[in-house]
Amino acid sequence: MDLSKIRNIGIIAHIDAGKTTVTERILYYTGKEHRMGEVHDGTATMDWMEEEQERGITITSAATTCTWQEHRVNIIDTPGHVDFTAEVERSLRVLDGAIGVFDAVEGVEAQSETVWRQADKYHVPRIAFINKMDRVGADFPKAIESIRIRLGARPVVLALPLGQERGYRGVIDVLARRAVVWDDETLGSEYGFEEVPPEDLAAVEAAREAAVEAAADCDDELATRYLEGEDLTEEHIVNGLRRGTCAMKLTPVLCGSALKNKGIQLLLDAVIRYLPSPLDVPPVSGPNPDTGRTEVRAADPEAPFCGLAFKTFADRHGDLTYVRIYSGTLEAGMQVLNTRAERKERAGRILVMHADQREAVDRMQCGNIVALIGLKSTSTGHTIADPRHPIILEAPTFPETVISMAIEPRTNEDKDRLGEALARLAKDDPTFTSKVDPETGQMIVSGMGELHLEVLRNRLTRDFGVEANVGRPRVAYKETIAGIAEVNCKFAKQTGGRGQYAHVILRVEPAVAGNGASPHGLEFESRVTGGDVPRQFIPPVEQGARSAAQAGARWGYPVIDVKVTLLGGSSHPVDSSDLAFQTAGSIAFKQAMEKAGAVLLEPVMRLEIHVPEEYYGNIVHDLNGRRAVIDEMAIAGHVRNVRGSVPLSEMFGYSTTIRSLSQGRATFTMEPLKYQSVPEGLADKVW
């Protein structure tokens, strides 16, 4: 297929903005599905997991493919809940473009900002769709302004709402200067055109003039014509806007109501018009593991094959590995090299996915997203390539876990299967980890939130047949230091034969703070001169310090944001050994931490609450008791939007509390923000 006619896009947004409903309408109008699935009925095609259907939310990103105007559109529908942010992260890593969906009433919400930043990180061009224009309180200008202010984007309005709230009828196409009205009898499959109402003419002309200026800003030839007063055609404007969108200088904005079947066809047109094809994005590059030289792979079916595995998933039919093919052509049964694991694999079957349904194909060229069966050693972030032309592509990065809980099998039979099931879940989900606590012997699982761990626990039962009990969630605390300390530590042990001797001088000091859910760990530097500590003993000193840092200095939590400097020491020609210097490094680190003043850090969450006016006082009073800091409070009609931060440890079970305080009418979202010091009076109460 012509690569210029391929679009790889994601649907990204805050929870409940309507991502999955938009995707369901796209599938219906492109003929991929012959029925229209609904999230609230549990019939959405893309929310195929039982857990998703029961909760009415997207948990795992689902891939599908459809056709529009002779273009192949590969779509990934991503979750909106912060607990499943890894699904968004790895999807955006392999996408060429995205649709940001926004609620016309709420505008830009907390998770909208998060996914927008993730798209910025991976240089993914976007178009925006203001959804739910039929809702009471819908405010199109306010939603546009929130995109401008909160996201720092340059929105270019290409569609205006025809009516609003209960009077919403359709969309005004700004460039074509015409109104588009959908037929409710055909569920929006058919639509017609009308003249723009007189009262909207001025707004349409103003929006069109702004679009022309934006297009001219991104195209020198277009700018010259514009300044010379030429009458620019719609094609000229579209080309300029496309160039600006692909360069991430602007964001085309459309509107509609996915639930009421209005605006989706124009959105699809915009995907084809403005979002990039695989030929429009820069070639991928990475080091050749054999030579170390950076190599470039262009989107060329005849080039050496390479692809990035961005997701693995174990389902009832077998293990799937989702791969974005960046160059070359992949054939079923082809041998590939996993360049990170340094193992050869065989791509047994190539599948084109439609949620949980699959279609086998014999070959697939670059620019597409497929699922493979047969890759045993490949995990998220691994590169697979032609064994004769190896390359390592950049892997997606993920936030650290912030919450943990103990888990234990209910029976001996479950015990045998629990470890295997947890390892499988950890392979599928990079933000889920499991380990055995060396002190208690308990199995500890960690994730991004209570909902995240609850869903994974349910998967243990449903997908792996393992019954397990879980303990109360625990916060992933960290430790750091308040000051600078230097220690002179000698480790000497004589047992009759050869002894153990090591002498180190260590300094610890605060390092640059991570200031987020992914804090910096330990920095180590050696400033030993003159061979006081022989070169071969420096790595054991570092190993000892890192081992001690992982075990914690005072409370038993990992140490972060600390720089360790080896200043000097001495050795013995007979008694010194790796073990001795490792032990000395560990002891010196603990002594230095105690001397510098250990500080306990806790994860703090960004919090956003939408609460009706009459319950605002109850909510704020409760937040004050949870050590929350309110940064901003805005009023939208009869609803107050509260934004601030709160320690994670204070928010366990908050979903139940907020429902009781507001009679179920308030909603909230949280996402990791930073680590900060625990107040002195509370630190010693943490276990």
Q: Order of strands, edge to edge, in the sheet holding 170-173? A: 159-162, 170-173, 178-182, 191-194
How confident is the model over 207-259, as pLDDT tens digits? 999 999 999 998 888 888 878 777 788 888 999 999 999 999 999 999 999 99
Per-residue pLDDT, averaged over 30-47, amounts to 59
In this prediction, residue 531 carries a pLDDT of 82
Tell me, what's the pLDDT at 515?
Answer: 43
Classified as helix, coil or strand, 7 is strand
Give residue 315's pLDDT band: very low, low, confident or very high (50, 70, 90).
Answer: low
> Residue 550 — pLDDT band, cuts 50, 70, 90?
confident
Confidence of residue 6 (pLDDT cuts 50, 70, 90): very high
Give the per-residue pLDDT at 455: 83
Asked if residue 467 has pLDDT above 90, the reply is no
- Rg for the chain (alpha carbons), in Å? 28
The whole-number pLDDT of residue 82 equals 65
Helix (H, G, I), strand (E, B) or coil at 10: strand
Summary mean pLDDT of the chain? 86
For residue 133, pLDDT beyond 60:
yes
Sequence-distant (6+) residues with CB within 8 A of 169 are: 162, 163, 181, 262
Does position 392 have pLDDT exceeding 90, yes or no?
yes
487 within 8 A of 440, measured Cβ to Cβ: no
pLDDT of residue 123: 93
Q: 170 falls in which pLDDT band (50, 70, 90)? A: very high
How much of the chain, in percent, has pLDDT values that exceed 90? Answer: 46
> What's the pLDDT score for residue 174?
95
Q: Which stretches within 560-678 are classed as H helix?
A: 578-596, 616-624, 654-662
Dihedral (Cα; 210, 215, 218, 222), 10-degree rounding: -120
Which pLDDT does position 634 carry in this prediction? 84
Give per-residue pLDDT as tens, 562-611.
999 999 999 988 889 999 999 999 999 999 999 999 899 998 988 888 88
User: What angle separates helix 140-151 from helix 110-121, to the nearest 10 degrees?
Assistant: 50
With the CA atoms of 380, 385, 387 and 392 taken in that order, what torsion angle do they form, in degrees rounded to the nearest 10? -70
260, 263, 264, 267 alpha-carbon torsion, rounded to 10° = -160
Residue with tokens 């055609």: 233
Span 395-423, mean pLDDT? Answer: 81
* Mean pLDDT value across residues 129-134: 95
How do beta strands 97-103 and 126-131 pair? parallel
Least confident of 27-31, 571-575, 678-682: 678-682
* pLDDT of residue 516 exceeding 50: no
| pTM of model > 0.85 | no
